[in-house]
Amino acid sequence: MSTTRWPRYFILPVALIVLWQLWGMTLPARSRAPVPLDVLASAVELVASGRLPMAILQSLGRVGLGFLVAGAIALVLGLLMGFFRPVERNLDPIIESFRPVAPIALLPLAILWLGTGTPAAVFIVAYAAFFPMIVNTIAGVKGVERRLVQAAQTLGVPQLTILRTVVLPAALPSIFVGVRVAMGLAWMSIIAAELAVGSKGGGGGSGGVGEMMFVFYAYYIELDSIVVCMIAVGLVALAIDHGLRWLQRWLMPWAEQYR
Amino acid sequence: MSHPATTGPKLRLDAVRKTFTVPRSGAEVVAVETADLAIEAGEFLTIVGPSGCGKSTILNMLAGLELPTGGTVAMDGRKITGPAAERGMVFQDYALFPWKTVFENIEFGLRYGPHGKGLSTAERRSRVARCVELVGLGGSEQKYPHELSGGMRQRCGIARLVANEPDVLLMDEPFAALDAQTRIILQEELLRIWGETGDRAERRTVVFITHAIDEAVFLSDRVVVMSAHPGRIIEILDVDLPRPRTDATRTRPEFQALSQTIWNLIRDEVYRAATAAGSAGGAGD
């Protein structure tokens, strides 16, 4: 996009923020409604003090770890399930019966088994990220053109090598859809998990953006700071998705033309 | 090139029958009805027939991609139970790996399959480079399939097969998606690659599927004519045209007479299929 055009994209958001500010100024002071200028001041303070960046880094670390665990399991299982029918017939009922169980519903178990620190949060993230990745991996493997597999078979390539050298790259575009959906869910559930675990504050706190939001809400009723956290969460998610899209284009330069 | 100890045919279909069960209705469709066929080593054999005659099913069974419902398919006297590097295939839709370059596509069989075992990387690369030249793809090695024309894609498909040095080359309507001029050029090049001008003993066995009669006559030593519903072999014809075949071959009276004979064998069925188009589901040819 050219520099002469970009301001247009900001007309609507800026207008909305101005309206928000004007509306906020008509309210009585004790309403505690967050208004843009206060939010901005709060943001400057939270970033400058390093508290927000630290919290985001901590949450990101958990998302990354949980995501890697889930991705590794989903990739291997998904490839095998999509390629070998008996594997799918055996595992599919188990996976499909867990899929509708919301990650947050597992929180009591996670806290009971793993405590209120990082392991519980990572577990919740991994659980949330697992399903979109495995479902899309299986769909991707099943959608691989049969001719490509047959071409490799008639060159004498063994099945497991075909899985790695043909099925995996051919299914990659679909796998990546799962990765992007999973990343959104993982980020969503880390905040929820930290929010819930954060109530243990006073020594046993979980840390991360979620706990920060909980503390602002429960102990200080600082709505401005909570809005800052919300915006930060959104921006980080946006940045991650852009990163993933860039990775996709870099990994699969052939995919756009091919699909 | 390995030579079998036995002097029997290279490939043999013995009372081969193939049926499919239609999903849902459970009805049984006969794709191939008791086919017997012996294909000699070094022979260029073409199977022609209308859509739904089972010619591709026969090729898939030779490849080991499908197994017969009855009878046996054998190579060098050994029953075929699955795909193998000895029986390579070229596909109508090319089936090139879109994430690999031309060079990597051609290298694929040698890199991941059994026929590349024992080759050093340098030996493998030089063999691939020879195949690139053989099919006239020099200069396009680093291109991706989507950057190539249909004709060049199929050159790449042929090179991928030839580089793997299979005993038997199975070709499933390889030129069907190409324009008429490109087809003619590739037909002549295929015969050159096959070794038409060279020693007869050096030639590989080729089984070629097409629905173009002139293509079948131009390329082959023998033409197998099939008919549909159920798919069966109705005639096997020798092509007594001198090799190497050239443009002049197409104008010879024997060429025209043989093409006419084949056309007469399948004409009624082609007309029937053309007028009844859409009313009957084919068994997939």
The pLDDT tens digits of the residues spanning B98-111 come to 999 999 999 999 99
- Of B229 and A243, more confident: A243
Say yes or no: B215 and B82 in one domain. Answer: yes
Domain identity same for B104 and B30: no
Using alpha carbons, select from B169, A171, B213 the residue that is nearest to residue A179.
A171
How far does CA B214 lie from the centroid of its chain? 15
Contact of B143 with chain A, judged by CB distance below 8 Å, is answered with: no
Cβ–Cβ of B108/A254 closer than 8 Å?
no
Write down the pLDDT at residue B1: 46
Rounded Cα gap, residues B49 and B15, in angstroms? 19
Measured between CB atoms, does A259 come within 8 Å of chain B? Answer: no
**Residue among A154, A157, A158 minimizing CB distance to B87:** A154
**For chain A, what is the domain count?**
1
Note whether B95 and B64 are same-domain residues: no
Could you list the residue range(s) of the whole structural domain that residue A49 is in?
35-258
In a domain, A60, yes or no: yes
Is B185 inside any structural domain?
Answer: no
Summarised one tens digit per residue, pLDDT across range B167-206 is 999 999 999 999 999 999 999 999 999 998 888 888 999 9
pLDDT of residue A119: 86
- With CA atoms as reference, report the closest residue to A254 among B274, B25, B145: B145
Q: Do B63 and B138 belong together in one domain?
A: no
Q: How far is B60 from chain A (nearest CA, A)?
A: 10
Residue numbers in B near A150 (CB within 8 A): 63, 65, 83, 89, 91, 95
Cα–Cα distance, B14 to B36 (Å, whole number): 5
Nearest residue on chain B to A171, judged by CA atoms?
B99
pLDDT at A108: 85
Choose between B131 and A28: higher pLDDT.
B131
Average pLDDT of A47-52? 88
- Residue B12's pLDDT band (cuts 50, 70, 90): very high
State the complex-level ipTM.
0.90
Contact B65 A153 (CB under 8 A): yes
B79 and B100 part of one domain: no
The DSSP letter of residue A27 is S
Residue B140, helix vs strand vs coil? coil
Taking the C-alpha atoms of residue B253 and residue B242, their distance in angstroms, rounded to an integer, is 13
Task: Give the best residue of B99, B105, B156 to mutate against chain A (max A CB count within 10 A).
Answer: B99
Phi, psi of A108 (to 5 degrees): -55, -45
Looking at the structure, do residues B48 and B175 belong to the same domain, yes or no? yes
**Which residue does chain A place closest to B115, by CA atoms?**
A156
Q: Would you say residue B90 has pLDDT above 80?
A: yes
Q: How far is A255 from chain B (nearest CA, A)?
A: 8
Which pLDDT does position A6 carry in this prediction? 64
CA gap B237, B234 in Å, rounded? 10
State the pLDDT at residue B278: 53
pLDDT, chain A, mean = 86
Instruction: Mark whether B262 and B175 lie in a shared domain.
Output: yes
Predicted confidence band of residue B221 (pLDDT cuts 50, 70, 90): very high
* pLDDT given at position A165: 96
Domain containing residue B63: 1-86+167-179+205-285
Q: Tell which of A145, A153, A154, A252 to mutate to test the B interface (max B CBs under 10 Å).
A: A154
C-beta atoms surrounding A196 within 10 Å:
22
- Are B85 and A166 in contact (CB < 8 Å)? no
Hey, is the C-beta of A151 within 8 angstroms of any chain B C-beta?
Answer: yes
- CATH number, domain containing residue B54: 3.40.50.300
pLDDT at B241 over 50: yes
User: Can you list the pairs that A94-99 forms with residues at least 24 positions away whose Cβ atoms lie under 8 Å?
Assistant: A95/A131, A95/A134, A98/A131, A99/A131, A99/A135
- In-domain check, residue B23: yes
Helix ranges restricted to H, A84-222: 85-98, 107-114, 118-142, 146-153, 159-162, 168-198, 208-215
For residue B77, being part of any structural domain is answered with yes
Last residue of a domain, one of B139, B165, B191: B165
> Does B200 map to a domain?
no
Q: Which residue has the higher pLDDT, A240 or A3?
A: A240
Per-residue pLDDT at A138: 96
Same domain? For B210 and B285 the reply is yes
Answer yes or no: do B99 and A151 touch at CB < 8 A: no
Q: Percentage of chain B with pLDDT > 90?
A: 80
Same-domain pairing of B75 and B132:
no
Residue A7 pLDDT > 80, yes or no?
Answer: no
Q: What percentage of chain A carries pLDDT values higher than 90?
A: 45
Average pLDDT over residues A142-147: 94
Contact A137, A168 (CB under 8 A): no
- Interface touch A254/B89, C-beta < 8 Å: no
Nearest to B114 among A152, A153, A156 (CB): A156
Give B273 or B116, the one with higher predicted confidence.
B116
Q: What's the pLDDT at B152?
A: 95
Interface test mutation site (partner A, options B56, B87, B104, B112, max chain A beta carbons within 10 A): B112
Residue A203 — pLDDT band, cuts 50, 70, 90?
Answer: very low
Query: A66-102: per-residue pLDDT in tens?
Result: 999 999 999 999 999 999 999 999 999 999 998 888 8
Does the pLDDT value for residue B32 go beyond 60?
yes
- From the list A151, A156, A252, which residue is nearest B84 (CB)? A156
Lowest model confidence (mean pLDDT) among A64-78, A137-151, A191-205: A191-205
% of chain B surpassing 70 pLDDT: 95
Q: Between A and B, how many residue pairs show a Cβ–Cβ distance under 8 A?
A: 81
Question: What is the pLDDT at residue A179?
Answer: 94
Instruction: Please indicate, yes or no, whether residues B275 and B214 belong to a single structural domain of this protein.
Output: yes
Residue type (1 letter), A35? V
Residue A107, in any domain of the structure: yes
Distance of CA B41 to the CA centre of its chain: 15
Total count of domains within chain B:
2
Query: Which of B61, B97, B144 is the best residue to mutate to test the A interface, defined by the most A CB atoms within 10 Å of its own CB?
Result: B97
Regarding whether B274 and B172 lie in a shared domain, the answer is yes
| The pLDDT of residue A143 is above 80 | yes
| A156 lies within 8 A of chain B by CB | yes
| pLDDT at residue A3 tops 80 | no
Say if residues A258 and B95 touch (Cβ distance below 8 Å): no
| CATH assignment of the domain containing A223 | 1.10.3720.10
Cα–Cα dist B168/B127, whole Å: 19
3-class DSSP assignment, residue B49: coil
- Is B5 a member of any domain? yes
Neighboring chain A residues of B160 at a CB cutoff of 8 Å: 151, 155
pLDDT on residue A199: 53
Q: Is residue B187 part of a domain?
A: no
Distance from CA of B88 to the nearest CA of A (A): 5
User: Does the pLDDT value for residue A21 go beyond 50?
Assistant: yes
Is B126 in the same domain as B100? yes
Q: Is B22 helix (H, G, I), strand (E, B) or coil?
A: coil
Tell if the CB–CB gap between B63 and A154 is shorter than 8 Å.
yes
Interchain proximity B88–A154, CB inside 8 Å? yes
Would you say residue B2 has pLDDT above 60?
no
